[in-house]
Structure 1
Amino acid sequence: MDSVTQIALGASIAGAVAGPRLGRSALAIGAALGTLPDMDVLIDYGSAVANFTQHRGFSHSLFVLAPLAIILAWALWRWKPQLSLGRWLTLTGLVLLTHPLLDSFTTYGTQIFWPFGPPVAISSIFIIDPAYTLPLLAGCLFFLIRPPARTAVTMGLLLSTLYLGWTVAAKQIVTERVTPALADAGLEQPSLLVQPMPFNTILWRATAITDTEQVEIVTGFLDGDRPLNLEYFARDPALAESVAELPETRRLEWFTNGFLSYQRRDQQVTATDIRLGLPGAHPFTFILAEGRGEQLAPVISTRTPRPSVKPEMLSLLWSRLTGEAPTLCLASLSIPAPEQTCS
């Protein structure tokens, strides 16, 4: 999740655990601990792919954060002994461990079991979701105005947790909605990713991939019985095979669970993470190799500039979310005219 959310979550937990004893300083301590795992963004691992796939790695591992919580609890107890060592351990443990657990509900991929196993990406909540964050911020605001406001921060935590549970249920409902449509289109067992569209859990995006094609569906809870619109994008298995043995390609395939699109741009071969962003506005594209024809040479990966997003994108999303617009074409990031379909 975004930094504001992680700060608010950490502050809320600290306020609930230690607010009556520490007052407003509990929020500051919780906020600092809540953002600590994300300090790994300051590390340069040597290439764009390494930086991308190592983020949310060791610093988000439960096997690293659990012992770190013990060390920090002891240090904080020595600093502020008015809180018992057991209470400090409850605070540090809950704040540090909930950070990666919350991140694992997003699509990016969180290595909570590092160095064992693949990243975890439940993909039920967008990286920024006001419906999750606002109850936490409200509880913290009440605490700042009238500390310790333990009931307020506890209610904020309860509401945000219930909302997180709703996201998992909503994803299952959408998955059951799109699966028959994909089967009717001849995709009975594709690799399938279902995730919410930006900033909400009312409108969802389903991405199905095979070796040769990518199919996108946008559907929402306000669509009623409207038929699903399937949008098709070609995939190039030969190009994917040409770079399949490169170490950075294998790393990307592992991290994204195969949700990559390979393109040739002039003399460069690129791989795009199609899980994040939207077609035409995917933020993570990496240059993996250079050369003409089949004479490709691996390069130290670099990331291409992030594509610009149309200023009217928020209004388009709102129109589609509310059901005012029956279709959103992802290829052009536009709403087709009545009686028209996505080309």
Structure 2
Amino acid sequence: MDSLTQIILGGAIGNAVLGNKLKNKAVLYGAVAGTIPDLDVAVGWFTDSLTALEIHRGISHSILFALVSSFLFGYILFRRERNKGVTYEEGYWLFFWGLFTHSLLDAFTSWGTRLLWPMDYSFAFKSIFVIDPLYTLPFLFFLIQSMRSKNDLVKRMQYNTLGLIVSTGYLCITLFLKGVVYYKFTDSLGKQNIEYTSLSVKPTAMNTILWNGIVETKDSFLIGEYSFFDQSQLRFQVFNKNHHYTEQLMNHQLLKRLVRVSEGKFTISEEDERLYFNDLRFGLLKNNGDDIQFAFSYEFYVNSHGELAVREVKKERADGIILLKKLWQRLKGM
């Protein structure tokens, strides 16, 4: 999830563990714990975008990291706050739950999280977008109300608990909504007599009303959208896999890395004699006739050392704004 949401979740966890002793300071410690896992994005400053993507949501988001690093972070908290009655165990649990819930929340998004690192398996329930105001804003409201109740411990913890209950309840609702959408897609595919090998559904940007589905067939991927306000049958846009472009690279380590990162959901496209690897998991950034760009695409090129390399295709901010406007209209069933 986005940084603000993780700070709010971490703050609420810190409040739940030590709010009775440290009051708003516990929220601060929890916010720090909720921020730590995403510091792995700093790797992007020193390496290429593909390597940074492979590292993100890896070791720093694992249960192992939460278990081990909390010994250090908890000790630091204990040393700073022991004069206020904070125990080492409380410091440990504040950081463990702050770190672990960060990773657990990320597992509900399309990106997924390698909770069991070093095992190379990503948990991704794909039921919530990385930014979702319906999750974040009510949670923020209750946390602020809790922080304002400085001298009323009972009310403070009640507000904090309500925030955790409401936010967790919303996550459960997203799983239910995903189940409904999955049925809608399978039903539509059946009625259209489309044979497929896999189906993945996920919400579009900042909502759980409009959903995106990726359908894999033998030679292509079909991408469709479903809104709970739709009145007509699902329609799909076809994208040929074009994997024959990379037959000579099937054993190349670079292509293997790209396939692993994309979870096998990719197409190859050619433009101006250049080959592009398109990660389908996050849909289209531009979809205007022949002007098509996926949210995540990588251009193959030969670097200065004569080696095959890739670079991420730049995204224009204006395209993102146009896409959000289109999604808003589509969300309403139009």
For 1:12, the equivalent position in structure 2 comes to: 12
Residues matched between the structures, number: 318
State whether structure 2 residue 295 is matched by structure 1 residue 286. no
For 1:217, the equivalent position in structure 2 comes to: 224
- Tell me which protein shows more helix as a share of its residues: 2
Contact 1:288/1:301, CA 8 A, preserved across alignment:
yes
Instruction: Kindly provide the CA deviation profile for residues 285-330 of structure 1, in whole angstroms up to 9, marking residues without a partner as x.
Output: 2223459xxxxx752322121144264433432222223x1xxxxx
Once residues 216 and 190 of structure 1 are traced to their aligned partners in structure 2, the CA distance between those partners, rounded to angstroms, is: 14
Contact 1:123/1:194, CA 8 A, preserved across alignment:
yes
2:163 maps to a residue whose letter is G
Shift of 1:277: 4.1
For 1:38, the equivalent position in structure 2 comes to: 38
Once residues 288 and 58 of structure 1 are traced to their aligned partners in structure 2, the CA distance between those partners, rounded to angstroms, is: 28
Once residues 279 and 148 of structure 2 are traced to their aligned partners in structure 1, the CA distance between those partners, rounded to angstroms, is: 43
Q: Which one has more relative contact order, counting CA pairs under 8 Å at least 6 apart?
A: 1
Q: 1:261 to 1:164 in 2, by over 3 A?
A: same
For 1:59, the equivalent position in structure 2 comes to: 60
Q: 1:184 to 1:110 in 2, by over 3 A?
A: same
Once residues 329 and 262 of structure 2 are traced to their aligned partners in structure 1, the CA distance between those partners, rounded to angstroms, is: 30
Shift of 1:217: 1.6
For 1:121, the equivalent position in structure 2 comes to: 124
For 2:261, the equivalent position in structure 1 comes to: 255
Root-mean-square deviation over aligned CA pairs? 2.1
Shift of 1:110: 1.5
Secondary structure of residue in 2 paired with 1:118: coil
2:252 maps to a residue whose letter is L
Flag structure 1 segments of 5+ consecutive residues without an equivalent. 292-296, 326-343
TM-score (norm 2): 0.88
Contact 1:262/1:272, CA 8 A, preserved across alignment:
yes
State whether structure 2 residue 110 is matched by structure 1 residue 107. yes
Shift of 1:139: 1.9
Instruction: Kindly provide the CA deviation profile for residues 209-260 of structure 1, in whole angstroms up to 9, marking residues without a partner as x.
Output: 2342221221122225x32222222221211434322212211212221111
Shift >4 Å, 4+ stretches: none
Q: 1:168 to 1:53 in 2, by over 3 A?
A: same
Alignment of 1:232-311 (within 5 A): 232-278=238-284, 280=286, 281-290=293-302, 298-307=307-316, 308-309=318-319, 311=321
Flag structure 2 segments of 5+ consecutive residues without an equivalent. 287-292
Q: 1:131 to 1:168 in 2, by over 3 A?
A: same
Q: 1:66 to 1:171 in 2, by over 3 A?
A: same
Contact 1:270/1:289, CA 8 A, preserved across alignment:
no
1:124 maps to a residue whose letter is S
Contact 1:111/1:120, CA 8 A, preserved across alignment:
yes
Identity %: 31
Shift of 1:274: 1.2
After TM superposition, the structure 1 stretch with the greater mean CA deviation from structure 2, 232-241 or 150-159, is: 232-241
TM-score (norm 1): 0.86
